Amino acid sequence: MGNTTITLSKGYFTSEITKSFLKDLQMACKTMEVDLFVKLFISYDLYHNEEYREVLNLIKHIVSSWYKPELGTKLIEVSKFESKCIFCNIGKKVNGYKWTYKHSLETIPLNRVVYASQIAFFFDYQDNQLIEFGVCNGYLDKEEMNLLNS
């Protein structure tokens, strides 16, 4: 598997820009539209970082795999959850997003099936400045976290 992390030099993002980036990332996650993730990387000059392409390509793959315009895909809900990495950075806190959708133009009864996909991101900060951002490849989903915490 390729690199799923972008490492930023300290000071690349100020604490204010970090807050703005996180807000814009959350907005992109609310729609799960590929174009918003691409614009996010461009507007924060992340495309200058050598590692950005693999991270963005992974995000694009995950986010675009669910949307099928020819099947009338409708986004139903996006929910955010906190989780823990269980692979590369065991125990590291990650923010997960789960979205549900259906293909309304699919044949009956498949047009009633509700599908779900998810993605998780991890962040590292130093003095409230983002210094690392990436996609987590192994994490517990919301139900698994609830079981673990019960």
Number of domains the chain is built from: 1
- This prediction has a pTM of 0.88
Residues 85-131 have pLDDT tens digits of: 888 777 788 999 999 999 999 999 999 999 999 999 999 999 999 99
Residues 5-29 have pLDDT tens digits of: 999 988 899 999 999 999 999 999 9
Distance CA 130, CA 37 (A): 17
Element spanning 32, H or E? none
Which of 147, 46, 137 minimizes the C-alpha distance to 94?
Answer: 137
Distance CA 141, CA 82 (A): 9
Range of the domain at 82: 5-149
DSSP state of 107: P
